[in-house]
Chains A and B, each alone.
Chain A
Amino acid sequence: MRWFVLRRLALAPLVLLGMTCITFFVSQLIPIDPVAAYLGGRGAAQSDAAEQAIIDALNARWGWDKPIPERYWIYLTNLLQGDMGESSHSARAVSTDLANVLPPTIELVVAALVVALVFGIPLGVFAAARRGGVWDALFKVVSTLAISVPVFWLAIVGFMVFYGRLGWAAGPGQLDIFTRPPPEVTGMVTVDSILAGRWDALFDTLHHLAFPALVLGLVIGFYFARVVRSEMVDALESDYVRTARGKGLRRRLVLYRHAFRNAVIPVITLSGLAFGSLLTGIIVVERVVGWPGLGQYAFTAATRLDLNALSGVVLVISLAYVLANLTVDLLYTVADPRVRDGMRS
């Protein structure tokens, strides 16, 4: 067990190295002059000499005039020292930017996952227990709709209706402009509010968090529900569930102790995969509701050809993926005794 975790953790740097390789070389394929992209509008200096001086300075710092393998080496050695370069659009170190945008995104992702699990899993069990019935048919229709609707459409229309028309959802950002933010500790406003005992700020930020978390959570939740339903249907038709019914156990025990324990195993794997769609989802949703997180940062970086920032984002997302998959594997060993034993030997 411990060896398994260590082995997986030891593999993580290799995966990340591979990712830097891909992002770096792909970004080299894009036919843009990094100097021009970095300077952008600021490139128009007073004189050619001044401009050349700026270019030389940049080249000296980033080695943009050097051959590609050498540049990769420079990038890598900088990265190992925690230096991801400077973002051209924010003019700050990418690492500083990431440290700022990560906490709000973690808040959003966790909230969305909580929403998805809390309603998705019971819904799937409910539909499976009534398979073939009216509720099951209704579930199929609604979940198909929820999964096929694009997230950006749902986010935009939902925001228009619930914020614009009805005023139920809170506006853009994490807090109302009149709410004094809690002192920053973790960067996650919810946690910081609790730490500071600022209940007004907590309720305000939860209000702001609710809409994007519900949009993301709904889509993934219905996805979870469908997987849970199909796995539950299989489990309910299995011999061991027949054995459990043959023992005269209560319906709820048969459903949860016997069928669900088995059905949840594949669900764990699939939630690892769902993590990917969650990450693409945050880019759109954060953009729509103005959530100051990684998604918005990635969007801005991409539209402004901010290669340093983009590489940083990709690296963070890769790391998140590696961690998510490790978590999935660990949960697997908790849920399935057969896997647990396989790893011991």
Chain B
Amino acid sequence: MLSVRDLDVTFRARAPVLAVRGVSYDLAAGEHVGLVGESGSGKSAGALALVRLLPDYADVSGRVMLDGADLLRLNERELRAVRGDQVGIVYQDPFSSLNPVLTIGKQLTEVLSKHKGLGARAARREAARLLETVGVPNAEERISDYPHQFSGGMRQRAVIAMAVAPRPALLIADEPTTALDVTVQAQILELLQELTSEHETTMLLITHDLGVVAGVTQRVMVMYAGRIVESSSTEDVFTRASHPYTVALHRSLPRIDVRQERLVTIEGQPPDPTQLVRGCPFAPRCPSRIDRCADEDPPLMTIPTARRAAARGWDMASIREEDGEQVPGPASPHLTACWNPPDPAGDEPGPAR
């Protein structure tokens, strides 16, 4: 349904920022996929680039095929027909993503009149119904309210209503709960889950929080330094993480079942996106680093391939020929971009720790 190939996003600056580097993946209709990574990993840039919503100083290349059309090659007019209609977006900060001087109703109805061709009165009725659906009480009255009269959670509900109003095929949720209170976060996630399941909407859920991904998605892609470093079913990511970065992310999650003196952190800093060095970008922070990590950036491959490649010293070219460099998709196996994937199950230890 959505197929992204070799997506590059570079922010032009004195020192160009390589935010996204050669990202490819497929999403199937109705699938819920999480895109996880720390801030600066390129997950938001990569998602907003799909509909070219980045600022002017961002260069985007690659292919983004949505139902047969390459979104990166549409003209402005065609793109406008896709935005908001086929692709809905929920943004990170509901305090800044709503226009402060327009009523909630106005901001909702403009989507409906643009994409559904509804007249003023019909649009208003539909807007009230939508607000009701997303759980805004007294929707009929609150439709004339301005954003500042809404709480954070209510605003995000309104943003969600705008995103799902024309029943989009794809919903991009860019850190939809980050700016909200913890108690509200769960409600918002539940709402997203409910709305997308109801209409079989594909959802790309972007978050830095593994916990958010757990209950909502079927599949997870982990990003680090502008690349996808691991892709698997959500269950596998939690029980059999194969990339050292994902493993470290898990360790850094606070646990309630074990008494912890202090929280676990990942040593070191993410790489500087303005100057990427040779080899795996995670290597300097990686506990299972081997020699070749410093020289060759591992492609996304299946775990057996990664192990064999490391053990037999295959070079990059032969891996690509064999079964390496795979594209994450609905049916793809557990993939990892690591020359020495740790095995938490312990049945097959990596060559060197």
Contact = CB atoms under 8 A, between A and B. Distances in A.
Contacts of B159: 243
27 contacts: A132-B56, A237-B55, A238-B96, A239-B93, A239-B97, A242-B53, A243-B97, A244-B99, A246-B53, A246-B83, A247-B162, A248-B79, A248-B80, A248-B81, A248-B82, A248-B83, A249-B80, A250-B80, A257-B110, A258-B102, A262-B99, A265-B101, A336-B101, A337-B100, A337-B148, A338-B100, A338-B148
Nearest to A238: B96
A136 to B, nearest CB: 12
B55 to A, nearest CB: 7
B169 to A, nearest CB: 14
Nearest to B98: A240
Nearest to B77: A250
A4 to B, nearest CB: 18
Interface in A213-269: 237-240, 242-251, 253, 257-258, 261-262, 265
Interface of B: 51, 53, 55-56, 76, 79-85, 89, 91, 93, 96-102, 107, 110-111, 114-115, 146, 148-149, 159, 162
A157 B240 CA distance: 82
Contacts, number: 80
A257 to B, nearest CB: 7
A281 to B, nearest CB: 31
Interface in A291-337: 335-337
Nearest to A262: B101
A76 to B, nearest CB: 45
Nearest to B79: A248
Contacts of B51: 246
A341 interface: yes
Interface of A: 132, 237-240, 242-251, 253, 257-258, 261-262, 265, 335-338, 341
A247 B108 CA distance: 10
A242 B49 CA distance: 12
Nearest to B89: A246
Contacts of B55: 237
A248 B84 contact: yes
Contacts of B101: 261-262, 265, 335-337
Nearest to B108: A247
A55 B97 CA distance: 74
Contact of A248 (B96, B97, B99, B115): B115
A237 B57 CA distance: 11
Given A261-B99, A336-B101, A248 B146 contact: no
A78 B113 CA distance: 64
B100 A248 contact: no
A37 to B, nearest CB: 54
A255 to B, nearest CB: 13
A315 B96 CA distance: 45
Interface centre among A243, A261, A337 (most CB of B within 10 A): A243
Contacts of B91: 239, 242-243, 246
Contacts of A248: 79-85, 111, 114-115
Contacts of B76: 251
B281 to A, nearest CB: 28
A261 B148 contact: no
